[in-house]
Chain A
Amino acid sequence: MSKIKKERTGPIARLFARRKLRRKNRSFGGDLVLTILLGLFGLFSLFPLWYIFVSAFKPFSEIFIFPPKLTVDNPTLNNFFDLKNIIEGFDVPLARYVFNTLIITGLGTGGTVLLGSMAAFPLAKYVFPGSKAMNQIIVYALMFSTSVTAIPNYLIMSRLGMINTYWAVLLPTVGGTLGLFLMRNFMVQIPDALLESAKIDGANEFMIYWRIVMPLCKPAWITLIILSFQQMWGTTGGVFIYSEELKPLSYVLSQLVSGGISRTGVASAVSLIMVLVPVAVFVISQSNVLETMATSGIKE
């Protein structure tokens, strides 16, 4: 009875009614406890980041106030100027580090998304000799971290003459299975009927992948871009890249962070920059992900 009523009213009333229904299994007490829990952990999560933010704008004198305050009385940009002076004292110009980061992040992210999704499509949508084994291997490969294979990887890299080149950090990342796995799982949900009709039109698997599957998988590859971007952004090169001119920005910045309480200001300024970039990327793409998730509901 109520259902008929609902359908006769406008969209807003319908939304309201749906919401009421959704709330059916919720109690006030439960809501309260869970909101408090959410708030408490939110504070725990935010607190160190807030500390970085505040410290980055604290003048030197305020860093040594006892007990440390969570606000800043006389915000200053001095820490950022100090940072600029320190960086200008380096042998390698800042632009070079930025360039390295752009190359590594760009190629790494692009490579992961392209090669990963290209390999994911046949594995997700077709059965052919070897496909079952390959799918199984991908899952097993997720189960150990790259730190286990770091030493042999180093030996292979040096055999191939790739140590101290961009390739040394790019190739292992691009060959990571996480991206492929996420893409594959997303692609499995694409209705077969869509691919079938393209096949009748004479398209081969690559054309189907490029023209039909990739546009449908936008949320998945945006997620992949976020993940590989943040991974590449944090790369310091380690032992795989040792030349100062080839090191990425995060390497230099992380050098500046270690240095005790008296360098808190500069270290916080650096950390703030390191945090803001991936967070900004996430904010931009998160809305995109939510949007595409909401509109691109794939139903059989």
Chain B
Amino acid sequence: MAAKTLDSKKTDTPVYRETFGAVLKKHKYKYLMILPFGLIFIVFTVLPVVIAIAFSFTDFDMVNNPNFIGFTNYISLFVEDDIFLIAVKNTLFFAIVTGPVSYIMCFIFAWLVNELPRIPRAIMTLVFYAPSISGNAYLIWKILFSSDSYGWANAWLLKLGFTNDAIQWFATAGYIMPILVIVQLWLSLGVSFLTFIAGLQTVDKSLYEAAAVEGIRNRWQELWFITFPSMKPQLLFGAVMQITSSLSVSQLSIDLVGFPSVDYAGHTILTHLHDYGNIRYQLGYACTIAVILFFIMMLCNILIQKVLRKLGE
């Protein structure tokens, strides 16, 4: 990181020789400024992860005291719980499709929008960004894919003669995942998209001019040799955002295809968690699911970070 900062020269003198009190005193304001956020962060982000891991080894159910049961929860998840395996399969499929596609979409559209003149750029930014900030406006897809002939999709399929009966979109296992993917992609030009636009605007314009002189021929070379390396921090950040959001789909699935969905076609790790946590109150088991999802997210993110860091080097 860019840690070339004010105190860097001073801390070259070995810090560990100073007493704890002296360190605190010297950096008093820095620690005090971090403290309010730090406390909230520890209590509501760090502690919950620790608690989830601890409870995942128990049979806690909110009524009785938790008993330590070792890896029983983990074993039953993978050996006995067939529905969990469906959930894992759905989640990974969903993430593998929507994650990369939405990431690339965020970048391409940010890049294209950035080439527009000022006013069209502002309008197009809004058009792409609007779905992701529209709260639960995605429920409109429920009406677009309504199972009667008044739904938009059915109406046109009927009118154009592709089908004779209205399709039960949300009651047919085969359609559930594609619809969820479409809606997720519709929602996915969010924070990463904005970050990319901001990142593109901060790329030094003189670099492009210099490159044109140096023999960069087209926009693709420009993109590869100048834009990507210049906005690597934003690209890494965007990847984290898209991976995390594509792995944590649940409310979308519950709202659109119902819970439980037909043949569990829309069942994800998080809806499984919702089932055991909010409905059955088997919190120990639910925490196990949460811990597994936690590690899947961390693992995917760390791996992708490693790959992206190599880009353009």
Contact = CB atoms under 8 A, between A and B. Distances in A.
Verify that A and B bind, or say they do not: yes
Interface of A: 21-22, 24-27, 30, 34, 37-38, 41-42, 44-46, 48-49, 51-52, 55, 63-64, 66-68, 115-116, 118-119, 121-129, 131-132, 134-135, 139-145, 147-153, 155-156, 171-172, 174-178, 180-181, 185, 188, 192, 195-196, 199, 204-206, 209, 219, 223, 227, 230, 233-234, 239, 250, 254, 257-258, 261, 264, 267-268, 271, 274-275, 278-279, 282-283, 286-287, 289-290, 293
Interface residues of B, number: 111
A257 B139 contact: yes
B134 A274 contact: yes
A135 B212 contact: no
Contact of A261 (B29, B129, B150, B286): B150
Given A25-B216, A143-B244, A278 B277 contact: no
Interface string B268-282: 001001000110000
B139 A267 contact: yes
Contacts of B209: 21-22
Q: Is the interface of B mostly helix, strand, loop or mixed?
A: helix
Contacts of A126: 5-7, 27, 30
A116 B218 contact: no
A233 B51 contact: no
Contact of B37 (A22, A55, A116, A258): A116
B112 A144 contact: no
Interface string B89-133: 000000000000000010011001100001000101111111101
B127 A42 contact: yes
Q: Is the interface of A mostly helix, strand, loop or mixed?
A: helix
A192 B6 contact: yes
B216 A275 contact: no
Interface stretch (B69-77, B80-88, B171-179, B290-298): B290-298
Given A127-B5, A204-B29, A267 B41 contact: no
18 contacts: A25-B216, A38-B113, A55-B143, A67-B159, A119-B34, A126-B27, A128-B30, A131-B30, A149-B52, A174-B40, A175-B40, A175-B44, A234-B136, A254-B136, A261-B150, A271-B134, A286-B126, A290-B118
Given A115-B37, A234-B135, A129 B15 contact: yes
A156 B43 contact: yes
Contact of B40 (A171, A178, A268): A171
B136 A223 contact: no
Interface string B55-68: 10000000000000
B240 to A, nearest CB: 5
B301 interface: yes
Nearest to A134: B34
Interface in B211-243: 212, 216-219, 221-222, 233, 237, 240-241, 243
A139 B108 CA distance: 25
Contact of B194 (A22, A223, A261): A223
A59 to B, nearest CB: 15
Given A21-B209, A67-B155, A128 B33 contact: no
A145 B140 contact: no
Nearest to B223: A25
A144 B48 CA distance: 12
B37 A37 contact: no
B294 A144 contact: yes
Nearest to A185: B233
A151 B52 contact: yes
B201 A264 contact: no
Contacts of A21: 209, 212
A128 B37 contact: no
B191 interface: yes
A34 B110 CA distance: 12
Most buried by B among A45, A145, A204, A287: A45
Nearest to B35: A119
A144 B129 CA distance: 23
A128 B3 CA distance: 11
B260 interface: no
A232 to B, nearest CB: 11
Given A22-B205, A41-B128, A151-B273, 19 more contacts: A48-B138, A51-B144, A66-B155, A66-B159, A68-B155, A118-B34, A126-B5, A134-B34, A147-B248, A149-B49, A196-B6, A199-B6, A205-B33, A219-B198, A223-B194, A227-B191, A250-B136, A282-B126, A282-B129
B78 interface: no
B244 A142 contact: yes
Contacts of A150: 277, 290
B11 interface: yes
B134 A49 contact: yes
Contact of A178 (B8, B109, B150, B191): B191
Nearest to A65: B150
A180 to B, nearest CB: 6
Contacts of A68: 150-152, 155
Contacts of A282: 126, 129-130, 133
A220 to B, nearest CB: 9
Given A64-B150, A142-B240, A171-B44, A45 B277 contact: no
A143 B137 contact: no
Contacts of A151: 48, 52, 55, 273, 277, 283, 286-287, 290
Given A129-B23, A268-B140, A275-B135, A147 B146 contact: no
B5 A261 contact: no
